[in-house]
Amino acid sequence: MIKGYKGIPMPVRYLINAGLFVVFLVVVSSLTDAKVISTYNNKIIMLIGINIILAVSLNLATGYLGQLPLGHAGFMAVGAYASAIFMKAVIKTLPLGLSLPLGLLIGGLVAAVFGFIIGIPALRLKGDYLAIITLGFGEIIRVILLNIDSVIGFKLTYGAAGLKSIPKTTTFLDTFICVFLVCFVIHAILKSRHGRAVLSIRENEIAAESCGINTTYYKTMAFVMSAFFAGVAGSLYAGYIGILDPTGFGFMKSIEILVMVVLGGMGSMIGSVISATVLTALPEFLREFDAYRMVVYSLLLVVVMIFKPTGLMGTYDFSLSRLLGKPWERLTSGGKSKKAGDR
Which of 85, 88, 79 shows the shortest CA–CA distance to 107? 79
In the range 309-328, which residues lie near another protein by CB under 8 A?
309
Minimum CB–partner distance for residue 18 and another protein (Å) = 34
Alpha helices in the chain (DSSP H): 10-33, 39-59, 72-90, 96-124, 129-152, 172-191, 193-203, 205-210, 215-241, 251-264, 269-285, 290-307, 320-332
Asked if 211 touches another protein (CB under 8 A), the answer is no
Asked if 75 touches another protein (CB under 8 A), the answer is no
Count of CB atoms situated within 10 Å of the CB of 144: 16
Residues 76-115: x where in contact with another protein by CB under 8 A, - otherwise, as a string: ----------------------------------------
Asked if 126 touches another protein (CB under 8 A), the answer is yes
**How far, in Å, CA of 306 to CA of 308, rounded?**
6
Minimum CB–partner distance for residue 88 and another protein (Å) = 25
Asked if 140 touches another protein (CB under 8 A), the answer is yes
**How far, in Å, CA of 96 to CA of 111, rounded?**
22
Minimum CB–partner distance for residue 204 and another protein (Å) = 9
Contact between 50 and 237 under an 8 Å Cβ cutoff? The reply is yes
Which of 71, 62, 59 shows the shortest CA–CA distance to 251? 71
Residues 254-293: x where in contact with another protein by CB under 8 A, - otherwise, as a string: -x--x---x---x------------------------xx-
Report CA dihedral (317, 320, 321, 327) to the nearest 10 degrees: 130
Stretch that binds another protein, among 29-37, 52-60, 136-144, 177-185 (CB under 8 A): 136-144
**Residues at the site binding another protein, with contacts judged by CB under 8 A:** 62, 66, 68, 70, 118, 121-122, 125-129, 131-133, 135-137, 139-140, 143-144, 146-147, 206-207, 251, 255, 258, 262, 266, 291-292, 294-295, 297-302, 305-306, 309
